[in-house]
Structure 1
Amino acid sequence: MGDKLSSLEWLPDTVDRAPLTSAPLTARLAFPRRFKQGLQLLLNAVFPHSCPVCDELVQSDGGVCLSCWQTLELISAPYCERLGIPLHYELGPNAWSAAALVNPPDYDRARASVLYNGPAKELVKRFKFYGEIRLSKLLAVCMLNAATELLQSDSILIPVPLHTARLRERTYNQSALLAREVGTRLDCQFILNGLFRTRRTNQQVGLKRDARTANVRGAFAVSDDFLPNVSGANVVLVDDVLTTGATVEECARVLKAAGAARVDVLVFALVDPDKVSEYSD
């Protein structure tokens, strides 16, 4: 898990910093931009933004306060080469955890930005279930460090899909928003409809690993649009949270059966393996 002080070296723009002490920027800008800034200040005064975790006032919409940012449990080396889970001590390059050795996943590698605890859990909840899609920018920026390790020049980002019925209920696929944000920021290819759900599955909440695996078995297929290009492709699956991995493993099996050369997994948050039973995918 990352050092809280060193984590400040790459604060995203959506993290609220201390106020600047230099002369007002508005004094040095041309009128149109000065007018826009004045209007934004007025709007911020009338409709102040709040941190989605603690409701503390912040300067930008979709941002978090510095205090909440510092309590995020950032994942950094050493971690398992295969599962991306933090290791308690350095085992050397490309080390596998005991969990990966005992039960290697069908995907090649998984990487996450943070552990699914505290503020991270609240951010995902608000983004995924409360319609706060503005948080996609913050979560995607946090994912960039992990993404650069997985992405190759020919990699294709593909989100874990929602069933059409659930998509109508939620109105958006949180994984697709993250894939688009990451792909745009890193200037890499993304295909938002690369996979689709063949049937509606039950919620994974409360299900054990075997039940989760059975729940999603046969629930995904490669779309007709992507099928001609999947052979030999390096795919990076994008999702918000990785719990037992049942969903992304099923997606990886389908992609590899269709000819994908490699399937990695990129998520914002990773559930602590010791706490998997407490959470859902």
Structure 2
Amino acid sequence: MFQSALRLIYPPRCVSCGDMVDRDFALCASCWGQMDFIAGLVCDCCGTPLPGEDAGEPEYCDDCLARPRPWARGRAAMLYREKARSMVLAFKHGDRTELARPAADWMLRAGRPILSPGMVVAPIPLHRWRLVSRRFNQSALLSQGVAERAGFAHWPDLLVRIRKTKVQDGMGPEERFANLAGAIAVQARYRERLRGRTVLLIDDVMTSGATLSTAAEACLAAGAEEVRVLVLARVAKAS
């Protein structure tokens, strides 16, 4: 009775535009249609959409062929543009932390093909000073949601930023890789626990892959058997 009354007073609203929807933390039909969710044939390494039909064999995009990744497989839930870009920015810089809940659902749906039993889930870390200014790590909120839904162990502090890096907006791929080189490490207390494990790294947006590469390299250097990546949004052109 109380819940019914509460819904009459506060009906569920679209997490993007605020229009009424039939359940909490959902998109209305209009906003859903404007989101560039990734489906069909994708690069098996980064999740960017590819032309053609999925024949059941791994395919790779030009970026991943030109620059081999230190991780094994990857997926992305959506393309980082227009409606999706606005939502990611609201989540990341507008304190819309409630968006982590539907975002984790979208990510898990996209990431199902690369999940395997016994994986551990970890977010890309923020430097402590950036965490102080932002007050939360958006990647950690996403990784917590993905881990809970998939039933995997969540290690939110597996990785640490050992030096502050420049904001990467406007940088080209080479500048991004140079900026991130050696900036992320595995916390010492996890080194023994990490040996032989498969890690699922979580981030909000993948552009060049520099941040994920640095984090993956740190995990592998500390003894992880394999690293896979899952992001909310991929900066790429639609096929």
TM-score, normalised via structure 1 length: 0.79
Q: Which position in structure 2 is the counterpart of 1:88? A: 51
> In structure 1, what is the Cα distance between the partners aligned to 2:13 and 2:5?
20
Q: Distance in 2 between matches of 1:38 and 1:56?
A: 19
Q: Secondary structure at 1:250's aligned position in 2? A: helix
Q: Which runs of 5+ in 1 are unaligned?
A: 1-33, 275-281
| Separation of aligned partners in 2, 1:189 and 1:136 | 18
User: Shift of residue 202 of structure 1?
Assistant: 1.0
Give the percent of matched residue pairs that are identical in Structure 1 and Structure 2: 35
1:123 aligns to what? 87
User: What is the number of equivalent residue pairs in this alignment?
Assistant: 237
User: Are the aligned partners of 2:162 and 2:185 in contact in 1 as well (CA < 8 Å)?
Assistant: yes
More relative contact order, 1 or 2 (CA 8 Å, 6+ apart): 2
Describe the SS at the equivalent of 2:97: coil
1:67 aligned to 16, 30, 48, which one?
Answer: 30
2:226 paired residue number: 262
Matches within 5 A, 1:133-148: 133-148=97-112
Q: Secondary structure of the equivalent of 1:110?
A: strand
**Shift in Å, 1:207:** 0.7
Instruction: Name the SS for the 1:96 alignment partner.
Output: coil
Aligned positions of 1:1-281 closer than 5 A? 34-42=1-9, 44=10, 50-58=13-21, 62-90=25-53, 92=55, 93-272=57-236
Question: CA–CA distance in 2 between the matches of 1:39 and 1:266?
Answer: 36
CA distance in 2, matches of 1:39, 1:57: 14
Tell me: CA distance 1:184–1:89, structure 2 relative to 1, closer, same or farther (3 Å).
same
**Residue 124 of structure 1 contacts residue 240 of structure 1 at CA under 8 Å; is this kept in 2?**
yes
RMSD: 1.8
Cα distance in 2 for residues equivalent to 1:51 and 1:199: 39
Q: Deviations over 1:231-280 (max 9, x none)?
A: 11100100111111000001111111111111111011111158xxxxxx
Q: Show the counterpart of 1:5.
A: none
Q: Deviations over 1:21-46 (max 9, x none)?
A: xxxxxxxxxxxxx123213422x1xx
Q: Could you say which structure has the larger radius of gyration?
A: 1
Q: What amino acid sits opposite 1:66 in the alignment?
A: A
User: Bigger CA drift: 207-216 or 141-150?
Assistant: 141-150
Give the CA deviation at 1:140. 0.5
